[in-house]
């Protein structure tokens, strides 16, 4: 005889264990009297500990990220007086790597048995990395939009100065804004259908096209770099770096002035490509600017992590001289 449809299913311990394993959940119990923890094998694996009958809270705390340790300790103590389910996310450090863990349970001693509370640990590293990536992307997009508006304003001003009529200004400004759009396409990840390599000089030339050809000041940007192909990943990384330098120059440097000029030269030094970004004719540099904005930090991080190099700045009275180095082996990626 079958059970009524609304009768709860009675799960066996075996069924529950299969469900827990399928969900990659680690189970724990906390003895509130002696502050000891017991965990299943997955819990010890998650924390990078050898199996034991129990583990002291202090032993677990040693693996918690120092910035989270006090917060986690206070949260666990507070769970005994806070009603309802709780969840706390924190970082642990294993072999120099950071892993995110989510601890979940019931507060206010709900479900406590013989002074032992129960809960689960979840590895949420993937979710946290995705959240951090989204936050970085949101910050980057906000930064780019602001830069685009600033550059568009600068191009409009410079175009109006060199144009003799409204029609001429409209034509020139439209061409430059279109070039700016093409340049921004290089800053995005390239579709795989577009191939895996581009010429170094072509990448730089396309990126800087919106800032050149300003009427009487046409040809104020010179690019003289080795003829070499660079891979898809490096093309986008290098585009980010060049774009940031151009943006700063359009705001404050040589590219913000009609009389400004820019020369980019490059050469191979051992197994590294060394490129020099030299500005002249821009506003006089009276004090050394601070390069601690979002875009500058992002460019430096990309140069180090993606290109295996670095960016250095030298502020001369005539303008900025920046040196960008990249590992030639990385450029093929």
> Is the full-model pTM beyond 0.75?
no
* pLDDT the model gives residue 326: 93
In sequence order, the 6+-apart residues with CB closer than 8 A to the CB of 58 are: none
Instruction: Give pLDDT tens digits for 283-317.
Output: 887 777 777 776 677 788 888 888 899 999 998 88
Q: Supply the DSSP string of 275-330, one letter for each residue.
A: EEEEEESSS---SPPP--SHHHHHHHHHHHHTTS-EEEEEEETTEEEEEEEEEHHH
* pLDDT the model gives residue 191: 47
* pLDDT the model gives residue 263: 94
Q: CA angle 184-188-189, nearest 5°?
A: 150
* pLDDT the model gives residue 181: 65
Instruction: Give pLDDT tens digits for 109-138.
Output: 666 777 788 888 888 888 888 887 777 767
Residue 98 has pLDDT above 50, yes or no: yes
Lowest mean pLDDT among 35-44, 65-74, 171-180, 188-197: 188-197
* pLDDT the model gives residue 48: 86
* pLDDT the model gives residue 276: 95
- Average pLDDT of 173-190? 61
| Calpha distance 113→122 (Å, rounded) | 22
Model confidence at 147, in pLDDT bands (50, 70, 90)?
low
All domains of the chain in start order, with CATH: 13-123 (3.30.450.20), 128-331 (3.30.565.10)
For tokens 């409209």, the residue is: 170
* pLDDT the model gives residue 192: 46
* pLDDT the model gives residue 194: 43
Mean of pLDDT over the chain: 78
* pLDDT the model gives residue 88: 86
Lowest mean pLDDT among 24-28, 115-119, 227-231, 288-292: 288-292
| Calpha distance 151→156 (Å, rounded) | 8
Q: What percent of the chain has pLDDT over 90?
A: 11
Model confidence at 179, in pLDDT bands (50, 70, 90)?
low
Model confidence at 188, in pLDDT bands (50, 70, 90)?
low
Instruction: Give pLDDT tens digits for 235-284.
Output: 777 877 887 888 788 878 888 887 889 999 999 998 899 999 999 988 88
CA 314, 199, 259, 290 dihedral sign is negative
Q: What percent of the chain has pLDDT over 70?
A: 79
* pLDDT the model gives residue 302: 80
Model confidence at 195, in pLDDT bands (50, 70, 90)?
very low
Among residues 170, 173, 163, 153, which one has the least CA distance to residue 247? 153
Residue 175 has pLDDT above 70, yes or no: no
Residue 324 has pLDDT above 90, yes or no: yes
């Amino acid at each position: 005889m079958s059970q009524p449809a609304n009768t709860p299913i009675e799960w066996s311990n075996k069924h529950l264990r299969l469900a827990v394993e399928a969900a990659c959940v680690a189970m724990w119990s906390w003895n509130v009297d002696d502050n000891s923890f017991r965990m299943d094998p997955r819990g010890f694996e998650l924390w990078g500990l050898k199996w034991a009958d129990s583990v002291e809270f202090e032993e677990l705390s040693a693996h918690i990220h120092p910035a989270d340790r006090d917060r986690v300790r206070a949260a666990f103590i507070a769970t005994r007086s806070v009603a309802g389910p709780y969840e706390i996310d924190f970082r642990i450090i294993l072999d120099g790597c950071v892993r995110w863990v989510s601890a979940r349970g019931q507060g206010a001693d709900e479900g406590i048995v013989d002074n032992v509370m129960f809960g689960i640990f979840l590895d949420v590293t993937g979710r946290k990395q995705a959240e951090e990536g989204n936050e970085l992307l949101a910050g980057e997009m906000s930064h780019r939009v602001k830069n685009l508006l600033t550059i568009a304003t600068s191009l409009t001003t410079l175009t109006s100065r060199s144009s003799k009529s409204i029609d001429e200004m409209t034509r020139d400004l439209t061409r430059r804004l279109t070039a700016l759009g093409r340049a921004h396409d290089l800053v995005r990840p390239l579709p795989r259908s577009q191939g895996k390599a581009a010429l170094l000089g072509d990448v730089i030339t396309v990126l800087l096209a919106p800032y050149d050809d300003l009427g009487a000041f046409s040809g104020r940007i010179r690019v003289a770099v080795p003829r070499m192909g660079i891979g898809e990943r490096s093309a986008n990384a290098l585009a980010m770096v060049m774009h940031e330098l151009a943006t700063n120059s359009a705001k404050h440097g040589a590219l913000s002035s009609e009389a400004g000029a820019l020369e980019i030269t490059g050469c191979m030094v051992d197994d590294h490509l060394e490129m020099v970004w030299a500005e002249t004719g821009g506003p006089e540099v009276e004090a050394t600017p601070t390069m601690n904005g979002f875009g500058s930090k992002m460019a430096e991080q990309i140069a180090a992590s993606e290109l295996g190099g670095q960016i250095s700045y030298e502020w001369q009275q005539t303008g900025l001289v920046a040196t960008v180095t990249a590992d030639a082996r990385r450029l093929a990626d």
